[in-house]
Amino acid sequence: MTMVDMPKTGRPVSTAYLSDGKGHTILLSDEEYERAKSAVMSMAGEATEHITTGDAAKILGVSRRTVMRMLDAGLIPYVRLGNQSYRYMRLDDVLEYKKESTHARSKAMEDVHEIMNSAVVSDSELSDYLHQLG
């Protein structure tokens, strides 16, 4: 890291600078820093991380084949990059799907719990019914 000239206060004149990694630095004003930061953040938003079906399977806790079925059903958008037949998904899309499906499952369990609490069914009757289902 290149040292920046230090005034008598013990703080750098400017704490924002660009560095080329070879020791060359350019000090930035607050305005220049904000513009540079805005440009980088804008580009970062456009650059998305694509993951494989295997990666998505690990994140979702399902098999790779299940992920393929999800893609075929249109549940998660995907792209084919280059001439390859492999499907890639945006990490953000997979995480969003996981969040939505977790919320939907939680809601369904709450609904079942509410129905069971309002039903006039004894525990033994429920047990017998579940036993008959196998």
89-110: pLDDT as tens digits: 999 999 999 999 888 888 888 8
CA proximity to 94, closest of 104, 106, 102 = 102
pTM of the model: 0.49
**Cβ(29)–Cβ(42) below 8 Å:** no
Burial 44-62 (b: 16+ CB within 10 A, else e): eeeeeeebebebbbebbee
Does residue 48 carry a pLDDT above 50? yes
Q: Rounded to whole angstroms, how far apart are CA atoms 47 and 38?
A: 14
The pair of structure tokens assigned to 70 is 């999800």
What domains does the chain contain, in order, with CATH numbers?
1-47 (no CATH), 50-133 (1.10.1660.10)
In 3-state terms, the chain is what percent helix, strand and coil (to 5)?
55, 10, 35
